[in-house]
Amino acid sequence: MDSPCAELVAVEVYANGARWTLLVGLDAGSPRVGVVRTRPRGAPAGVLAQRLRRDLVGARLEGVRASADAVCLEIARDDERLTLLVDGRLRTPLLAVLGAGDRVEWCAHPRALAHAGGAVGAPYPLPPGLTDAPRESREALERDGALLAERTADARGSRLRVALRRAARRRLTHAERKLRAIEADRARVAEVPGLRHDAELLLANLREVPAGAREVRVLDWALDPPATRTLQLDPAEGPASAQASRWFRRAKRLERGEAVAAERASRTRREVEALRSAVAAIDALDVRAAREGLDEALEQIATRLEALGVVLDREAAAAPRRRRADRPRLPYRRFVGSGERDIWVGRGPEDNDALTLRHARPQDLWLHCRGRAGAHVVVRLGRGEAVASELLVDAATLAAHFSSARGEQTVEVSYVPRRFVHKRKGAPAGAVVVDRDKTLLLRVEPRRLARLLESERPAT
């Protein structure tokens, strides 16, 4: 007893030493009955199939009654008589198990039952005109069974095709967005000559800058002809010499980040091209025309997508899509570090609080770039588990990257079990108090960083 798809019930029957699969189509208007030798492949057993198996497996099929718009399977189980009813008179065909006195014992579509004026435990008015099904020839039953099986395969193939395309498009959108962000980072390298030139101009005119000035006018001899320019300053960042040093450091960070960004851009560009090719292959697939080689074609596409990092559940994708409650937004991004361990990175100040205070467990490892604004980072650990050195460096690398120290070659990263991280009442979002922390002096490795950034997976 099974339900390969939402429109079909399959019942394995044994007759004269042979095994057949009786198919009952759940069509609105005209349910159809047929037989096939092999049960159609379909979705994994859901609630409907499990309930039918519990009630009917091992029972004896006594007969079939049918009318123009309904089918009844008469079943004997021990001393009990049951009826599996498919009523196609309703917009949503009704599938129900009836017991003594035609009382509804169970119904797969409660709304359809209520719409028909019935209720579980109450007698159900059987459709008029039900008569014993004529003993059709085996050829006619096999013909109708083949039609039902083909329709099931088409429905399954269409659902799987749609699910594969949805997953591929989602991954493609993510990859295209990532590529645009990487290219935007690379474009900022063009700022390097200007940053260095402004820093040199400021250092050459330090005597002209009064304390607390917000701007200074300097003569720029690099212009043709030389002209006066205004450099914007921020008194909160300290004296002019400190601001010039900061501009030099920013220029250096941008230059160092160019190599990592170029490698990431190349890899992401290849991913985008491969995903576009996969989407085009899915769009070109005609489910009905490719019926003979459909499973193989879809399997090849699914394998290509999985190689590109697309997470697929083939059986769930082939099943009818059900409405799900909206999943809550998670406050962190998920990366995969050494040993296939999850590393969570907060998305922003409020998300940092949510990650640290609500999602991280006391034994988890908490990291943050020391003395800098940045993301809270959490490594999931078991009770009494010590973090592996490679995993610690991976998490520290992400903490440095997702902070104001991004691009610097050497960064200090604090780490401590989450139980020693607290938040004071009234403190700003993301601000916490840390006790008993240790400090790791991290030398950022571009290849490690690139690997980690490419390891991002959907947060769960």
pLDDT tens column, 213-263: 989 999 988 888 989 999 999 888 889 999 999 999 888 888 877 877 888
Q: Are 89 and 199 within one domain?
A: no
pLDDT above 90 (res 303): no
Q: Provide the pLDDT for residue 320.
A: 47
CB 57 within 8 A of CB 1: yes
Q: Are 121 and 172 within one domain?
A: no
Q: Provide the pLDDT for residue 111.
A: 81
Q: Are 164 and 110 within one domain?
A: no
Q: Are 165 and 281 within one domain?
A: yes
Q: Provide the pLDDT for residue 322.
A: 45
In a domain, 460, yes or no: no
In a domain, 459, yes or no: no
CB 415 within 8 A of CB 400: no
| Average pLDDT, rounded, for the chain | 82
Domain boundary among 322, 354, 383: 322
Q: How confident is the model at residue 321 (pLDDT cuts 50, 70, 90)?
A: very low
* Residues spanned by the domain of 105: 2-135
- Rounded to an integer, the average pLDDT of 144-168 is 76
CB 305 within 8 A of CB 164: yes
In a domain, 101, yes or no: yes
How far is it, in rounded angstroms, from Cα 275 to Cα 379?
31
Q: Are 313 and 404 within one domain?
A: no
Q: Residue 333: name the closest of 376, 370, 362, 364 by CA.
A: 376
In a domain, 144, yes or no: no
Angle between helices 240-284 and 294-307 (to 10 degrees): 170
Task: Kindly report, residue by residue over 405-419, the tens digit of the pLDDT.
Answer: 988 889 999 999 999
Q: How confident is the model at residue 44 (pLDDT cuts 50, 70, 90)?
A: low
Q: Are 346 and 438 within one domain?
A: yes
pTM over 0.85: no
How far is it, in rounded angstroms, from Cα 432 to Cα 425?
10
Q: Provide the pLDDT for residue 29.
A: 47
pLDDT above 50 (res 460): yes
In a domain, 382, yes or no: yes
Q: Are 9 and 111 within one domain?
A: yes
In a domain, 140, yes or no: no
Q: Quick one: what percent of the chain has pLDDT higher than 90?
A: 32
Q: Are 316 and 167 within one domain?
A: yes
Q: What is the domain count for the chain?
A: 3
Domain boundary among 303, 322, 341: 322
Q: Are 294 and 395 within one domain?
A: no
In a domain, 327, yes or no: no
Q: Provide the pLDDT for residue 324.
A: 43
CATH of the domain at 77: 2.30.310.10
Higher pLDDT, 52 or 135: 52
Q: Are 174 and 310 within one domain?
A: yes
Q: Are 199 and 285 within one domain?
A: yes
